[in-house]
Amino acid sequence: MSTVNNIDIQELNQSERILLAEKLWDSIVDNQDSLEVTASQKRVLEERLEAYRKSPNEGSSWEEVKNEMK
C-alpha cells in the first residue's frame, strides 16, 4: 500500500493522482539546484561525451527519434 499523509494513493481517483504527481514533480523542480550528480553518473556522462566526440555522426538525430516514436 502506498500512502501519503495516511492517504492510500489507490483510493484517489485518476485526476487526484495526476495532481499529486504534478505537485510532487513541482517540489523536485523547485529544488533542482540541490540535486547532486553522483560519481557514477558523472562517469557515464563523461563516457558518452567522449563517445560522441569520437563519432559525432553516429546515432540518430532528435528528428529521427521523434519520427520513430510516432
Report pLDDT for 1: 64
Residue pair 17/10 in contact by the 8 Å Cβ criterion: no
**In this structure, are 7 and 24 located in the same domain?**
yes
How many domains, in total, are found in the chain? 2
Cell numbers for 26: 513541482
Cell numbers for 9: 494513493
* Domain that residue 22 falls in: 3-34
**In this structure, are 8 and 30 located in the same domain?**
yes
Is 80 exceeded by the pLDDT of residue 26? yes
**In this structure, are 63 and 49 located in the same domain?**
yes
pLDDT in tens, 31-61: 878 888 999 999 999 999 999 999 999 989 9
**DSSP label at residue 13:** -
Distance CA 28, CA 39 (A): 21
